[in-house]
Amino acid sequence: MKRFPSKTKKTENVRRQKARPVRQPIRWLKPVLQGMAICVGASLVILGLLQLNQKLSIAYWDIEAEIPLQKQIEQFLVKQGHLDFWHSRAAVLQAGLIQDIPDIQHLQINRILPDGLLLKATARTPIALWEGEGVKSQVMLIDEKGVAYRSLQRGETLDLPILRLQKRELAQAVLVLQALHQQHASKLQDLSEVIVVERDWRLNFAHGEQWKLATAHPDKDIHKIINILAMPRWAQGYWRMDARIPQRWFIRPAKQEVI
């Protein structure tokens, strides 16, 4: 009688196959590739900007200003050397020019694409010289706003009145000069110096003339003095005016010696 193997034994003798691992996608590769792409793109952009920066370098400029100021501006631009687009921006050049050339009052800079500059500048107009306490070693130029913007250069001659007073008195001194210019412009040309001693304002003119004013409102007293000197009695000759006492003024003939 044949024996047949039982089904249970047959299944026990079958080898069990190991489960194959499932391959997982490489998760770090994608961000690495993205980072490389960003770096390459950024490098290309930077390279393009550098090339454009050089292509837009300044090759010429036009300067509209008075000749002395024009020369100073041109010397400044030449001193800068190679002006690429980044270093020739209007804000950068304007800041450098105003700091380097204090004679500039107003400055306008326009870019002429691709490689040009147009500069329009106006110069300050000095109305007086200032020699105050503590700055006797140098004489400063004063503009119409009372700003001491630079020192008088060696060899520079200006026919302007000199102010001998404190810095805090500059603004009021400018008002005095402006009042004198409005009321009697020719008298301003004869003015040689303005001195403030304690509470007195002294205006010294040619031919020994001198006006002494109170410190309260010296610019307003100018108008009254001009009106008095316009009277027929005082229209001829040169006079010394003492207007320090509001209730009583003194007038006497001028002498060449002025104190």
Rounded to a whole number, what is the distance in angstroms from the first to the last CA of the chain?
Answer: 160
For residue 21, whether the previous peptide bond is cis, meaning omega lies within 30 degrees of 0, is: no
- Own/partner pairs, 100-107, CB within 8 angstroms, 24+ separation: 100/76, 101/69, 101/72, 101/73, 101/76, 102/149, 102/150, 103/68, 103/69, 103/72, 103/149, 103/150, 104/69, 104/73, 105/143
Q: How many domains does the chain have?
A: 2
Residue 213, domain extent: 128-253
Are 145 and 209 members of one domain?
yes
In a domain, 217, yes or no: yes
Are 241 and 162 members of one domain?
yes
CB count within 10 Å of CB 30 equals 10
Are 170 and 105 members of one domain?
no
Reported pTM? 0.73
pLDDT in tens, 206-239: 999 999 998 777 888 888 888 888 898 888 889 9
Torsion of CA 184, 131, 244, 252, to 10 degrees: -60
In a domain, 239, yes or no: yes
SS3 127: coil
pLDDT of 253 above 80: yes
What is the reported pLDDT for 10? 52
Model confidence at 134, in pLDDT bands (50, 70, 90)?
A: low
Are 194 and 238 members of one domain?
yes
In a domain, 18, yes or no: no
Are 108 and 132 members of one domain?
no
Tell me the CATH number at 88. 3.10.20.310
Are 134 and 248 members of one domain?
yes
Report the C-alpha gap between 150 and 192 in whole angstroms.
20
